[in-house]
Structure 1
């Protein structure tokens, strides 16, 4: 899929309000915004207000505690801690129903890399996106495959193998702005929940996620590989490793709540 095929922005900013376009809608609930876009807007707000020279966004925790109507949003931020090597900031998204999501970010100052040996994440043998079948749809810009690099069309198709994805975000988040690497990573990280918690259908819904980054992605695609799922009494936790074309860049952890009465239908990759 060429990037020009579906490149309309999800939001337009006017007088500080973020106005959603029709394709910003949720996959699950009619009349609501997609959760990953809330995460992207929170990351954008934090980056615009709190980034700094040699400071790296090492952690982003996103809490999605209320459905957001297809209405204008406003973002507020607050700097919580300012130190010599650490900065901590919070952000909240507001709509007509009140706060709909919040995020906390930890920024760490870059420095000299220690030389001692530490066991690392195994090298990823996933093929680059252009060597996989193009199974994406405009509303589902994800290439899905299993740990043996066989293309799949839904999460549960991987069987007992771990799941892998490349996430291509074609549309700008806000009109007139290019996606920054940090915002791109925040948007992609939302996929960690379904890829770690879905069976033949998705029976857990995302409550939050935490994205941990040792560096920002250097490419326009972000990869994830599921690392594990644990659930009991309708509460699930999971984690995934985050990649770009060059290798591992971080981890994503997620919590989810059982919801067997989901009204929407998660799109599948194209056959």
Structure 2
């Protein structure tokens, strides 16, 4: 199985270790991972800000780069949601949108839905609070949103729960936004920070040592607030946890 690895901008620039952890996890389960160097952004920042004309050529380049791959996998629910659900708005007449979009997956849903992995072998003896990022939850359906009356499920939680020694703490509000929202965090700084501090308080109250998420953008926002408040919390992408979950005493990274 050949996988085209799509790495979001902020992971490429600020958290490259998350990209490497993603490769390690995919290769552990038999995927042949290729990183096409011609890739750039998916266009989400421009599209969210209303700069449609600027986002359109970026989306077209994404299709040019990834159309030949059997699968495209990214450690980001928001970027995958952009490709799968919003490229139609940018390129309504491009037949490749459906083709590439249907083969583009967030890491955890690729593991559960494509590779059909029920449990990850490994050990992570820490108290973990799961932050369910908005795009992954409500656009990719990685879990059941709290506003829906349906059978509960959560693909990210399912993968983490199989690790030995892990304790997934129970939050009061399991799927509330962290306040990042891309350019929203700049345009509405005070509201964004207040929302983030509220989420940190929920995790801290639940006794979390580590906050985990499938979206590094949320963790970047929460991590910055945690450092400013000097809170004893570690922020880790799910890919990092899965990559480190060996029998050799994994240690959360700051």
Same fold, judged at TM 0.5 (above): no
Counting strand residues as a fraction of each chain, which structure ranks higher? 1
- TM norm structure 1: 0.22
- TM norm structure 2: 0.23
